[in-house]
Structure 1
């Protein structure tokens, strides 16, 4: 696989993440005014929650994106829609573009994230809830098989709730082959432990 994943280290990765989440393009992440310590505290709380987990995606060993996985039943979505067994929530933030952005990079990242999630036992459907104003991510989500289910009011935003079943993802992949190879059976860290 082109991309690998490792757990976010809240203190060790705080400066890097701060440099991403405080840029204007990341305004929907909601941390534009955060300090480095705020970012470290936020990710320490996420990693300790037991239902929300953050990973750095690496491209040839270089941090290239941030992904958060969470259990919708333990999130504000629990009261927004009827959560099903097998639902997994996801947030994605790609690193700031380089001087020579690669065409299709964000699509390849999203494909790798979805492949990783669907490789987890028991995951049948991915749930996302981007801000209704974030039209760029809506288009990307639909390209990879997400189906909008309507707007829901969450504590920090009005969100476009969308779902992607395994079959919808595979159908989107077949209709628009991406640069990544077929989804792997599993992902593990450098010690072989599942992520």
Structure 2
């Protein structure tokens, strides 16, 4: 399993935020219809052609704020409430992000947190590998993720997920329009991790890395972990638990998960680390 990130610090001041991010953990990881029964009898249908000026008016009406942001050189600009719809710059921009195994992470849309508006945006290696690689080359991060080196190292890590069946979706965490963290949302029950704990169907795992040193140790990681875990539970009705397996040596990461409403379940020996199995239960989300 992939490592666990370098600093998901035990966040003492959730309101304090500088710019882009830090975070907790990492793990390892090693679908999709039409209605054939629709009626086809159209004897009463008239073949009418709309005027060109009316068609142009409709076309202008479909332009969205997210598209304008992208044209203005802001590729991570938030789209409006129709996230995931036609014209959304983030809809289906990753093969894994559009898969059914995780209920289409790319279309989950933004969520309002105590530190700003946050959205998971499926990674596109051609666009995002340089940024993720820069974060991975931070010595504090590299100690746990072990993805330091040339950009090709990160590309090799991302590509199987992006081109896979959707059981693991690498994402940028975009906070108030700024990409500041790297996430992996994955099906823990379909991951090698499931061999090391009593997995349940649809268990969903989280790995998190907060990118900027300035954003670590400020409580940001805990706030985002809680928000994302609850977002998973809201968007995946079949999922009863969100799990994580930070490295036991990564005390700030373990502490951040505890502060985010996860419970410490067990210690597990994974191929590349001894990990703390952290669990956020749907049944306990209002109590922790």
> Would you call these one fold, judging by a TM-score over 0.5?
yes
8 Å CA contact retained: 1:146, 1:162? yes
8 Å CA contact retained: 2:189, 2:204? no
Equivalent pairs, count: 170
Q: Following superposition, which runs of at least 4 residues in structure 1 exceed 4 angstroms of deviation? A: none
Gaps of 5+ in 1: 173-195
Tell me: higher relative CO, structure 1 or 2? Use CA pairs within 8 A at least 6 residues apart.
2
Once the two structures are TM-superposed, the CA of residue 42 in structure 1 deviates from its matched residue by: 1.0
Structure-2 residue corresponding to 1:54: 170
Q: How big is the alpha-carbon RMSD for the aligned residues of Structure 1 and Structure 2?
A: 1.8
Cα 1:16–1:125 shift into 2, 3 Å: same
8 Å CA contact retained: 1:69, 1:90? yes
Higher radius of gyration, 1 or 2: 2
Secondary structure of residue in 2 paired with 1:5 = strand
Does 1:78 find its partner at 2:194? yes
8 Å CA contact retained: 2:243, 2:277? yes
State the alpha-carbon separation in 2 of the partners of residues 90 and 10 from structure 1. Answer: 20
Structure-2 residue corresponding to 1:112: 227
Does 1:42 find its partner at 2:157? yes
User: Structure 2 length as normaliser, TM-score?
Assistant: 0.55
State the alpha-carbon separation in 2 of the partners of residues 102 and 133 from structure 1. Answer: 16
Structure-1 residue corresponding to 2:182: 66
State the alpha-carbon separation in 2 of the partners of residues 74 and 164 from structure 1. Answer: 18
State the alpha-carbon separation in 2 of the partners of residues 104 and 78 from structure 1. Answer: 30
Structure-2 residue corresponding to 1:160: 276
8 Å CA contact retained: 2:189, 2:202? no
Secondary structure of residue in 1 paired with 2:197 = coil
8 Å CA contact retained: 1:146, 1:168? no
User: Structure 1 length as normaliser, TM-score?
Assistant: 0.80
Cα 1:76–1:101 shift into 2, 3 Å: closer
Gaps of 5+ in 2: 1-111
Structure-1 residue corresponding to 2:3: none
Structure-2 residue corresponding to 1:181: none
Once the two structures are TM-superposed, the CA of residue 104 in structure 1 deviates from its matched residue by: 2.7
Structure-1 residue corresponding to 2:4: none
State the alpha-carbon separation in 2 of the partners of residues 130 and 72 from structure 1. Answer: 14
State the alpha-carbon separation in 1 of the partners of residues 222 and 250 from structure 2. Answer: 16
Structure-2 residue corresponding to 1:188: none
Once the two structures are TM-superposed, the CA of residue 119 in structure 1 deviates from its matched residue by: 1.5
Secondary structure of residue in 2 paired with 1:6 = strand
Cα 1:152–1:11 shift into 2, 3 Å: same
Structure-2 residue corresponding to 1:28: 144
Which structure shows the higher strand fraction?
A: 1
Does 1:93 find its partner at 2:225? no
Q: Which of 247, 256, 259 is the aligned partner of 1:131?
A: 247
Once the two structures are TM-superposed, the CA of residue 108 in structure 1 deviates from its matched residue by: 2.2
